[in-house]
Structure 1
Amino acid sequence: MQNAQFDVVVAGCGAAGLSAAVAAAEQGAKVAVLERAPIEERGGQSRYTEAYLRMKSHDDVTDDFEQHIIDNSSGYVDPDMVQEMGRPAADRAGFARAVNMVDPDMLHTFATEAGPTIAWLKGFGLRFDFLPTQFLTKTQPRLLPVGGGLALVETLAAQAENLGVTFFYDTTAEGLEQNEDGQVIGLRARHKGDRVRLKGQVVLACGGFEGNSEMQTRYIGPRAEYLRPICKGAYYNRGEGIQMALAIGALGAGDFGSFHAEPMDPRSGVSEPSIFIFPYGILVNKEGERFTDEAPGAVDAHYERVTRRIYEQRDGLAYVILDARHKQVPNYRLALRTDKPPFEADTVESLAAQLAVPPDRLAATVSAYNDACRPGQYKPLELDNVATVGLHPPKSHWALPIDQAPFHAYPIISANVFTFGGLKVDSDARVLDSDGLPIRGLYAAGEIIGLFHGTYTGATSVLKGLVFGRRAGQDAALRRNAP
């Protein structure tokens, strides 16, 4: 077994892991990065994402940032728990030191460190701008790195290489090593069948478990077989980091039974073949029946809850039915990331036959919907309140009749963008144990941090990786010589 000594060992080579590696190396630490993928595929999901960032400027997060996360931070909360969580961590009652809800101190750090983290990244030559997104209607601005997640990965990797960071590709972390006092002093890994032992403080930045069907079934349930990772990088996220931390007493956090859902075309093999055009049509299941309000509000704020309803349908599949009018929506192609053409027909019945949906049922559904549409001032790029009347479920906006041939349809399933369950950390990204105390020598960053419940706070995942990756690297470097 190969042995090597480092100050900081990072498991994962996405935005979170690379941020940790660079931040630690900047402080003079000797750093290693483990990447399960080969070098040409390094970066995990970060490599494939556009990396939306929920920021209203280069310096500040959006006004709703902290509140939206808090509102989706757990289920029914004991009011006494809320009061305790508002106190300094050291002064909280014992029952409140290790609970599965968002820590206010950690969340405040997340929000306040976002701007400085962007400034730090700019120092490496990365550029950020408010570029067009796939959302035709939106509630919040989104800052993007020019070049997307791939630019983050390649720029940070180059910076790490310049700072002398050692990379181990085709190498998978298997387990943590501790000394007799419980401090994490390294990890065990395998490289193409050979065992490797790397000594040093450990930063786990190896994602969730969307690439592990066994863990998805165990936590999310048997219907997880209808889910698919949003991009090929997600197949590398198999949950070992979570498992090895839980095995030594780490505290779990986030909703292990849930995930970030995004509507995608199951026919496509491209990265993130999303379908966001559904607010301008109707959604039907395999029985040809509507099952949800397709347009409850701006698509960026509501697509996840609509996608979850799609996931609930038979075989986890639905179709968006559109008529010729959807092509009149300005820039409508931005809402279609799939590389597959729509099903097309001159009649609703013919379209149904192509979809293997009962033609008479789909025709009746479209007819009932059309009868419920009422005239109004249609405004496709803003909430227009052009809604159905007397229809269940209703359609709240953009409710135009579907009556102009040719008719189009796209199949939609729910992608598993990332899982919600993970590890609890403090403001310095230190992993906490089941008593809410830091496990010495162990850090976590990125999607492995359990934070979200219910509805994902959009455009915060990559930002979480960047902020807490940097925090983890900085703190680990500072503590590298501590006893």
Structure 2
Amino acid sequence: MNRLESDAVVIGAGIAGMVTALRLSELGIKTLVLEQGEAEKYPCNTRMAGGAFHVAHQDVMDDPELILQAINKRTQGSARPDLVEALAGGIAEATRWLQKKGVRFIKVGHEPYRKHTLAPPIRIHGRDYWEGRGGDVLLRTLAGEFQRNGGQIARGTRALRLGMQGASCVGLEAVRGPETLQVGAQAVVICDGGFHSNLDLLREFISPAPEKLKQRNAQTGLGDGLSMAREVGAQLVGLDRFYGHVLARDALHNDDLWPFPMMDFVCAAGIVVDRSARRFLDEGLGGVTMANAIAAQPDPLCATAIFDAAIWNGPGREYLIPANPTLTSAGGTLYTADSLDGLAGQLGMPAAQLESTVAQYNAAVSDGLATELVPKRSTAAYRAHPIGTPPYHAVQLCAGITYTMGGIAVDSFGRVLDTANRPIPGLYAAGCATGGLEGGGRDQIAYIGGLTRSTVFGLRAADDIASLAR
């Protein structure tokens, strides 16, 4: 067993890991990064991200109080107040720090949350849509600066367990090929993302049948950091929710149908039914919440979107990479019939029940009573469109999971907390390995933004480690 020594060791080389490592290195802290991917362009969610820098869909340069209010509104006050304040108050300066390191942003689209998008923006076609773009360029930029500061990235190296001395973390054990490494450090920072690709953990916390979810990610989120932290007594929070979108079921076997097109806008305009042709979720809460509801079903492949020509040619054409025509041009299946009876026949659904479900929905929409449907159909964020303009359409659905929202409990400095809310000395976490910010809310899943929270808390963790070292 080989032994290495470093002031700090960071697990994972996505945005959270590289921000933490670069900040540590510029503060004079000798830092080693462990990355399980072996390739130069190792897969990770940062590299594949759309690149929009926002907090709760607010621009990162908005007034901190406005951002704070947006977070609290979206989370319905469920997020830890210290984390909310740190994120809202720190994101503008964190973005400026990235810009000073050579990371470029560009405005893409008219929406406020796209005012700061990683440049160059992703392509809208092809499996290599990310290569040489946003997140890919960001990681290479940060890694270059880190290595110029004397930092080291050990690729092909997977952390196995934390090293504890009493109640303090003093390093970790890792494996690189056949070689076992013992790494001593004054601080360990867990930045290896969520557990979205670990089927056992997904089955424990997210879905009874995780194999029926589409991995809308780099498939590297194995939850190693979360598992290691749990072994040494760390507190875990909010593990039952994830960020993702509704996809066509064909995405399970057709890679041209993920991460786009999303079926969110079509579903939010029409209805989503199960195999019995009955609605089972609130379509008006948006794609992230619908994806979670679908994943939680006993059979996550039970869902089908029902809509008409007006929806397909209206909301179906929304977004940069719209469902219409991307779904069919990429080989996805769009069921079409001149009647609901005919559509039900193609789907193997009871025709009378589908007609009844649509009729009840249309009557509620016409009378302005959609919110009184069972289940409720919210209308505050997405308009409920009537389904009455032939031809009628259907798309069979699946939940696409991008990253898990819950994880290791941390304070506003990224210090990992034990089950008594006490910091575990020497142990930190940042990014999507952590919980306490996203996911909360009574009904609607609260998406805040993975890139931005990774940046802010990576910087805060590094600053705290450096202050203790001094």
Structure 1 CA distance for aligned equivalents of residues 45 and 466 of structure 2: 26
111-120 or 363-372: bigger deviation: 363-372
Q: Distance in 2 between matches of 1:323 and 1:172?
A: 49
Mapped to 2, the partners of 1:405 and 1:2 lie a distance apart of 69
Structure 1 residue 263 corresponds to structure 2 residue 246: yes
Amino acid corresponding to residue 236 of structure 1 in structure 2? T
Residues 196-275 of structure 1: pairs in structure 2 closer than 5 A: 196-200=181-185, 201-220=187-206, 222-231=208-217, 233=218, 235-252=219-236, 254-268=237-251, 269-270=255-256, 271-273=258-260, 274-275=262-263
Whether the aligned pair in 2 keeps the contact of 1:321 and 1:409 (CA below 8 Å) is yes
The question of whether the paired residues in 1 share the 8 Å contact of 2:160 and 2:172 is answered with yes
Match for residue 357 of structure 2? 365
Equivalent position SS for 2:13: coil
Corresponding position: 1:58 with 2:57: no
Q: Corresponding residue for 2:460? A: 471
CA drift of 1:120 comes to 0.3
Following TM superposition, the consecutive aligned residue runs of length 4 or more in structure 1 with deviations greater than 6 angstroms are: 138-142
Q: How far has the Cα of 1:167 moved from its partner?
A: 1.3
CA change 1:340–1:287 in 2 (3 A) is farther
Aligned match for 1:303, one of 277, 282, 287 = 287
Q: Is the 8 A contact 2:242 2:292 kept in 1?
A: no
Q: Find the partner of 2:431 among 437, 443, 446.
A: 446
- 1:111 maps to 88
User: Residues 155, 439 of structure 1: CA spacing in aligned structure 2 closer, same or farther, 3 A cutoff?
Assistant: same
Match of residue 168 from structure 1: 154
Q: Distance in 1 between matches of 2:298 and 2:202?
A: 19
Alignment of 1:269-348 (within 5 A): 269-270=255-256, 271-273=258-260, 274-276=262-264, 277-295=266-284, 302-313=286-297, 315-316=299-300, 317-329=302-314, 331-332=317-318, 334=320, 335-336=322-323, 339-347=330-338, 348=340
> CA offset at residue 30 of structure 1?
1.9
CA change 1:460–1:72 in 2 (3 A) is farther
Q: Match of 1:144?
A: 117
Distance 1:59 1:365, change over 3 A: closer
Question: Does the residue aligned with 1:362 lie in a helix, a strand or coil?
Answer: helix
**For each residue in 1:147-201, what CA deviation from the matched residue of structure 2 results, as whole angstroms up to 9, or x when unmatched?**
343333232223223323211112110011133x433221111112321222222
Residues 344-387 of structure 1 show CA distances to partners (whole Å, capped at 9, x for unaligned) of: 32323333333333344324433444455539xxxxxxxxxx66
In the TM superposition, residue 110 of structure 1 has moved relative to its aligned partner by 1.8
Which amino acid in structure 1 is aligned with residue 334 of structure 2? F
Partners of 2:176 and 2:421 lie apart in 1 by 34
- CA shift, 1:17, in A, is 0.4
Encode CA deviations 1:41-84: one digit per residue, 9 max, x unaligned. Answer: 425211112143123353545442342366252xxxxxxxxxxx
Percent identity of equivalent pairs: 28
Equivalent position of 1:131 in the other structure: 108
Partner of 2:25: 25
**CA separation in 1, counterparts of 2:407 and 2:12?**
15
TM-score (norm 2): 0.81
Aligned residues: 430
- Partner of residue 42, structure 1: 42
Q: Is the 8 A contact 1:250 1:433 kept in 2?
A: yes
- Provide structure 1 residue ranges, at least 5 long, that are not aligned to the other structure: 74-100, 297-301, 376-385
Hey, what's the Cα distance between the residues in 1 that align with 2:153 and 2:245? 32
* Counterpart-to-counterpart distance in 1, 2:337 and 2:398: 25
Tell me the distance in 1 between the aligned counterparts of 2:11 and 2:371: 54
- What's the counterpart of residue 85 of structure 1? none
CA distance in 1, matches of 2:372, 2:233: 54
Cα drift, residue 303 of structure 1:
3.0
Q: Deviations for 1:193-239, whole angstroms, at most 9, x for unmatched residues?
A: 321222222110011211111122223353444433322x1x21111
Relative to structure 1, is the Cα distance of residues 349 and 159 closer, same or farther in structure 2, using a 3 angstrom cutoff? farther
In structure 2, distance between residues paired with 1:392 and 1:250:
40
Residue 3 to residue 59, structure 1, CA distance change in 2 (3 Å): farther
Q: Which of 374, 395, 401 does residue 416 from structure 1 map onto? A: 401
**Alpha carbons of 1:155 and 1:365: their partners in 2 closer, same or farther (altered >3 Å)?**
same
Indicate how the Cα distance of structure 1 residues 71 and 14 shifts in structure 2: closer, same or farther if over 3 A, else same. same
User: Does structure 2 conserve the Cα–Cα contact (< 8 Å) formed by 1:59 and 1:114?
Assistant: no
d(CA) in 2 for partners of 1:362, 1:282: 11
Name the CA distance, whole Å, in 2 between partners of 1:312 and 1:426.
29
Q: Quote the residue 2:7 is aligned against.
A: 7
CA distance in 2, matches of 1:149, 1:362: 43
**Distance 1:229-1:389 versus aligned 2 partners, 3 A rule:** closer
Q: For 1:39, what is the secondary structure of its paired residue?
A: coil
CA–CA distance in 1 between the matches of 2:238 and 2:453? 17
The residue type paired with residue 263 of structure 2 is I
